[in-house]
Amino acid sequence: MQQVLDIQALTHAAAMGLGEDFRGTSDREERARVAMAISSLGKSWTTLQDSKREILGRPKAGVLKPERKRTGRKQQASETLTIEAIAASMS
């Protein structure tokens, strides 16, 4: 886990340094090269985030979904029967 954190910090520092290079140049080819390097570092950082998630045993976002409450005809019919049963027991 410590290796992941160290590499992630290094990736962040490199991307921030390249950001200064990107803003400091007006040459289109140089800006394109720096932009591609920043993009690659961003992908690396995201991969490291996934590695941290796996090490910690957390599921991917959106994998665990809450159970949906059924609101079909069967449930409505059973509610009607329950209300009728209560009404019959009260009289």
SS3 52: helix
Evaluate whether 3 touches 52 at the Cβ level (below 8 Å). no
pLDDT band of residue 73 (cuts 50, 70, 90) is: low
Q: What is the pLDDT of residues 59-71, one digit of tens each?
A: 887 777 777 776 6
Structure tokens at 76: 């409505």
Compute the average pLDDT of residues 45-65.
83
Evaluate whether 52 touches 18 at the Cβ level (below 8 Å). no
- Residue 1 CB neighbours (<10 A): 9
Q: What is the pLDDT of residues 10-22, one digit of tens each?
A: 888 888 888 888 8
Cα–Cα distance, 34 to 43 (Å, whole number): 14
Cα–Cα distance, 64 to 73 (Å, whole number): 27
